[in-house]
Amino acid sequence: MAIKIYNSTSPGRREMTGADFSMITKSEPEKKLTKGLTKASARNHHGRITTRHRGGGHKKLYRFIDFKHDKYNVSARVASIEYDPNRTAFIALIVYKDGEKRYILAPKDIAIGDEIIAADNAPLKTGNRLALKNIPVGTFVHNVEIFPGKGGQLARSAGTSVQIMAQEGGYTSILLSSSEIRKVPDSGYASIGSLSNAEWNAVSIGKAGRSRWLGIRPTVRASAMNPRDHKYGGGEGRAVRGTRRPKTKWGQITGGRKTRKKKKLSNMFIVRRRKK
């Protein structure tokens, strides 16, 4: 995976980079595995904005991704690798022997024609999905189930993976990319390998218009606002912040304060908290 650098034909192009889509083999999605998305412009059912700086953007079709990958002991062939506007990783269209088609998250280095399978004791091959208890310590996996049968919930974004650290007492200890080590039931399933498009976060947007295509609206600095609009607003010229701790426009403390509940039930499964 490499970053594509554009020629500086205009000020907007000068710093712009993009993902290398040489891995992509098909431009149009499988029609039966998509649906249209209704834009909500980050508003709730009352029409009030619940998330600022979101709205507009290009039209998108939602692709149904099979996070469960629960068609066990039936091999499938990778038919195409596609771009998905709704996620950072690429997706792969797989075709089972009975003709059924599904989308899965595309792992790194997977190719068209590769055979993959989901089974309790599947071979340790990139793209195969098997029970955590049968995966050796040190293996990198993605799309990991927290609750067996619910489908993968961990390591689903581009370039991510988790590492198997230990197998003990019906649980598998995994090392997350945040440096947290936690236990998950070893009867859950995970897919072998790291996910594709690992350098997506190194892409430079380049110009404001490209952010608008992505549905990102402009963000105004708090210090440039009026006093009625933000805690940091007002003053002559560049005024000091006037508060020791960072706050939101509603005065809620942000940055540096723990938000996780101290008595959260899943605390018992965390072996080591993530490093600051």
Using alpha carbons, select from 45, 44, 80 the residue that is nearest to residue 63: 80
Convert the pLDDT of each residue in 118-165 to its tens digit: 999 899 999 999 999 999 999 999 999 999 999 999 999 999 999 999
The whole domain housing 60 covers 3-201
The count of structural domains within the chain is 1
244 within some domain = no
The stretch 228-233 carries a mean pLDDT of 92
- Read off the pTM: 0.90
239 within some domain = no
231 within some domain = no
38 within some domain = yes
How many residues are present in the chain? 276
Convert the pLDDT of each residue in 65-115 to its tens digit: 999 999 999 999 999 999 999 999 999 999 999 999 999 999 999 999 999
Backbone angles phi, psi at 94, to 5 degrees: -115, 145
143 within some domain = yes
36 within some domain = yes
The stretch 19-48 carries a mean pLDDT of 92
Query: Which pair of structure tokens corresponds to residue 204?
Result: 């430079």
CB-facing half-sphere around the CA of 124: CA atoms within 13 A: 10
Instruction: Map tokens 């629960």 to a residue.
Output: 70
pLDDT of the residue at 24: 92
Q: What distance in Å separates the CA atoms of residue 218 and residue 13, rounded to the nearest whole number?
A: 19
190 within some domain = yes
pLDDT of the residue at 1: 54
pLDDT of the residue at 20: 85
Convert the pLDDT of each residue in 3-27 to its tens digit: 899 999 999 999 999 988 888 998 8
Convert the pLDDT of each residue in 182-202 to its tens digit: 999 999 999 999 999 999 999
Secondary structure class of 209 (helix, strand, coil) = helix
Q: CATH number of the domain that 59 lies in? A: 2.40.50.140
274 within some domain = no
The stretch 203-218 carries a mean pLDDT of 95
Backbone angles phi, psi at 22, to 5 degrees: -65, -20
